[in-house]
A = this chain, B = another copy of it.
């Protein structure tokens, strides 16, 4: 039993990190579900949609801040401080890039293309797996289930990569107005970044898992 595991037996205080990570996962899930709903309408993204996404992004910022405050107060953590810090930042990036994609699509009046919805669905799938992984991380009791989710998140990222490539190829051939090409390309880049950030989070979770179980 490692030092960390030893302390875990006696210090319930470190449970707060699991709870906070679960709240982040819940918030990201609501955010990505709302995103799918909003995108599925396939019309111009509305101000209301953007405001709601902004609300989730702010909620994530507050949870991130809470985790950092706990990290400052607690000597005992369920896994390395450095890992908690990295995982928190990486999950926060997911919210930031979902927000950025919506902002870009709305404020800069990007034309809406069906691939935005395709991405929203992929992002939602990835976030749901991430949520599963985070809930299964508690006390390192379900390493196999966590690993399976991480593998699935990596698979989804590969799909997203292919969607991005083929959409960008099509966009360059589309004879659309160049400014519209620039706008759509930017939204697609932000959406693809979201799936990258999901993969980053999964990789961090996997490396934590390898260390502790």
**A165, closest chain B residue (CB):** B107
- Complex CA–CA separation, A179 to B172 (angstroms): 7
When the two chains form their complex, are residues B179 and A179 in contact, meaning their CB atoms are under 8 A apart? no
Does A82 interact with chain B (Cβ within 8 Å)?
yes
Q: Is A59 an interface residue (CB 8 A)?
A: no
Q: Quick check: A107 and B168 within 8 Å, CB to CB?
A: yes
Contact call A107/B207, Cβ cutoff below 8 A: no
Closest B residue to A61 by CB, please name it.
B154
Q: Determine if A69 is an interface residue (Cβ-Cβ < 8 Å).
A: yes
Q: Measured between alpha carbons, how far is A183 from B168 in the docked complex, in Å?
A: 11
Known: A172-B183, A181-B179, A182-B182. A210 touches B109 (CB 8 A): no
Interface-central residue, A179, A203, A211, by most chain B CB under 10 Å: A179
Interfacial chain B residues near A183, Cβ < 8 Å: 172
